[in-house]
A and B are shown apart, each in its own frame.
Chain A
Amino acid sequence: MSGLAALDWVVLLGTIATIVLYGAWRSRGVRSVESYVRGDALPWPTIGLSIMATQASAITFLSTPGQGFSDGMRFVQFYFGLPLAMIVISAVFVPAYHRLKVRTAYEYLEHRFDVRVRVLGGALFLIGRGVATGITIYAPSIILSQILGWPLQATIWVMGLIVVVYTVLGGTRAVSITQKQQMIVMLAGLGVAAVVVILRLPDGVSLGGAVQIAGAVGRMNPVTFDLDVTSPYNVWSGIAGGFFLQLSYFGTDQSQVQRYLSGSSVAESRLGLLFNGIFKVPMQFLVLFIGVMVFVFYVFSRPPAYFDQPAMAQASARHGAEIAALTARNDQAFDARRDAALGFLAARGTPGEDAARETLHAAATRFDAVHHDTKQLIDRAIDHKTNDNDYVFLSFVLAHLPVGLVGLLIAVILCAAMSAVASGLISLGATTTVDFYLRIRRALGRPPASPVHDLRISQLATIAWAAIAIGFASVASLFANLIEAVNILGSIFYGPILGLFVVAFFLRRVTATPVLFGAIVAQALIVILFFTSRIAYLWYNLIGCAVVVAVSLVGQALWPASRATQVDTP
């Protein structure tokens, strides 16, 4: 049974229902595959918010504050390459897509190379996005099912079915319009959460003091300059690796390309992308900062020994004495850390400040060690890996936010889940229809079917992908970190896809066969690296892209026959 108050339910259901019904009403009357896939001339604010909402899945609001809580701010560096990627996409990709009036990114590859490259690009997208959409449904469902008191399978199906109904009825326009409203709710919820967590700090702990406590225990680390390729988050991997990941995601992933192709002009699409380029880093900073402030809150307010209470309960049933001992150690470590934090606050600006900082750091390390031991025991007891960080923010919301705001914050998480799933499904349906079904019909010499027929195929393809994603979500196991799982999966496929587009846009002499060979070699290499090396996943994007470019250039030089088929301009 859920612990939500009646007012929370009213806020939650009212928010979701209003957004879905408004989106469905505003997008009624879709009658062709063109309007289903492209939408109809949306303005740049809608495009910008829709782009942000597509990327901000529920995982953003579950995992990321937890990451701030446990690991500090350094994850924000992951997004440093994003503004630069927005500029390159605005300058290079958007005009090319608009000029050729393509409906999918992969359609462009056939214009530039040939149908084989289009099929490869589309297939890599369908594999990667299909799995990622399943995770996007599954990840929040685990946690929401516990909060709402629903069975996990029911939560997965309810979320999937709500999204698929308005997506199939209204197409891209419905997705973008609902995402605009959903993003507004998300931003409002974030602002409320940030204010509440700061107001909940105990008397005598100012915002500045809280930031300095976080800094003393290594949580205020939004920039780190260590040049280590095995370190996932530093300035260099964020700008270089992150740039290539974001370039690939926003420039070649149909779930994002479809967002800005719905703009009425190049300028509208560009402004939508640059809006994201300006606001994404501050938004992620805020999400992580909320997690850091929740950490400081729990320095002074006794946290549970483990936030994932169902896992804790299961483990207690089997190892009650050991869990009790760990809980006692947790309480002792909490007291020591709280006292050290108070000592540090009192010592600021005095000669004893450095010693007090050291004491606090040591106490925090001991507390983290107890938590680590608790996690080890629970994982062993219930025989699968848990990730307590994903439960931190929601536990704080449920325990410490006023009635009504709890409903709003859960609506934020549901909105985020629905927006990311909707973009995934509509793009999977569009690619399947445009790049495979309609293309195969053309290859077979079939005459064009009626607009209604093609629309129905698009809708059926969307429903089929929803079934696949829901099916995957139903059998998926828990990854070490939900947001990392999605990003790692993306990084495996994005590098070679980006390589195809980089060659297409910037290497005019290279033709289809060398680039096709380059993409296959790059994809194989990335898979080998994933299983055999310790290279941080962000670098896969750069390596994959670079290998496609290098092999394409070498192949073009060694493959004179391919020049005969070269598409060139006067």
Chain B
Amino acid sequence: MREPGRDPMSDVDRPPPFLGRWSRIYGLVTGLLVAELVVFWLLRRWAS
């Protein structure tokens, strides 16, 4: 939520903090991707 009276243009070119309370869900998404890569690699090895 915006702070009262704050000009939204004041931080127009300031990158927001990359991590924060969302870091766990970002970690979950990354972890699932890594798990998929491992499963795909195992599947390929098993099938060929």
Q: Which residues of A contact B (CB under 8 A)?
A: 73, 76, 80, 83-84, 86-87, 90-92, 95-96, 99-101, 111-112, 211-212, 214-216, 218, 220-223, 235, 270, 274, 277-278, 281-282, 285, 504-506, 508, 567-570
Contacts and interface: CB of A to CB of B under 8 A. Distances in A.
Contact of A101 (B8, B28, B32, B33): B8
A281 B44 CA distance: 16
Given A99-B8, A215-B48, A278 B13 contact: no
A215 B41 CA distance: 12
Contacts of B29: 83, 86-87, 274, 277-278
B44 A505 contact: no
Contact of A215 (B18, B30, B37, B44): B44
A213 B39 CA distance: 19
B4 interface: no
Interface string B32-48: 11001100110110111
A80 B48 contact: no
A86 B33 CA distance: 12
Given A506-B15, A508-B14, A570-B10, 10 more contacts: A73-B40, A87-B29, A91-B17, A222-B44, A282-B36, A285-B40, A508-B13, A508-B15, A569-B10, A569-B11
7 residue pairs, one from A and one from B, having the closest CB atoms: A215-B47, A222-B40, A220-B47, A215-B48, A95-B16, A83-B33, A87-B26
Given A99-B8, A281-B36, A221 B44 contact: yes
Interface of A: prevailing SS: helix
A222 B13 CA distance: 40
Contact of B19 (A76, A80, A91, A277): A91
A220 B48 contact: yes
Interface of B: prevailing SS: helix
Contacts of A568: 13
Contacts of B9: 100, 111
Nearest to A235: B37
Contacts of B2: 99
Q: Which of B11, B33, B41 has the most CB of A within 10 A?
A: B33
Contacts of A212: 46-47
Contacts of B33: 80, 83-84, 281
A223 B14 contact: no
A100 B28 CA distance: 29
A285 B48 CA distance: 18
A524 B26 CA distance: 36
9 contacts: A73-B40, A87-B26, A99-B8, A274-B25, A274-B29, A277-B29, A278-B28, A281-B36, A569-B11
A80 B16 contact: no
B42 to A, nearest CB: 10
A109 B5 CA distance: 24
A92 B14 contact: no
Interface of B: 2, 8-19, 22, 25-26, 28-30, 32-33, 36-37, 40-41, 43-44, 46-48
Contacts of B40: 73, 76, 222-223, 285
Q: Which of A96, A235, A504, A568 has the most CB of B within 10 A?
A: A96
Given A83-B32, A112-B13, A91 B44 contact: no
A90 to B, nearest CB: 7
A354 to B, nearest CB: 11
B13 to A, nearest CB: 5
A221 B45 CA distance: 9
Contacts of B13: 112, 504-505, 508, 567-569
Contacts of A96: 12, 15-16
Nearest to A238: B37
A218 B44 CA distance: 9
B39 to A, nearest CB: 9
B44 to A, nearest CB: 6
A508 B19 CA distance: 19
A99 B11 contact: yes
A111 to B, nearest CB: 5
Contacts of B25: 274
A91 B26 contact: yes
B25 to A, nearest CB: 6
B5 to A, nearest CB: 15
Q: Which of A214, A277, A504, A568 has the most CB of B within 10 A?
A: A277
A211 B40 CA distance: 12
Nearest to A222: B40
B41 to A, nearest CB: 5
A453 to B, nearest CB: 27
Nearest to B12: A111
B22 A270 contact: yes
Contacts of A285: 36, 40
Given A274-B25, A505-B15, A508-B13, A214 B47 contact: yes
B30 A87 contact: yes
B36 A211 contact: no
A270 B21 CA distance: 13
A95 B21 CA distance: 14
Contacts of A277: 29
A278 B26 CA distance: 10
A569 B11 CA distance: 6
Nearest to B33: A83
Contacts of A76: 40
B3 to A, nearest CB: 11
A211 B47 CA distance: 6
Nearest to A357: B48
B37 to A, nearest CB: 6
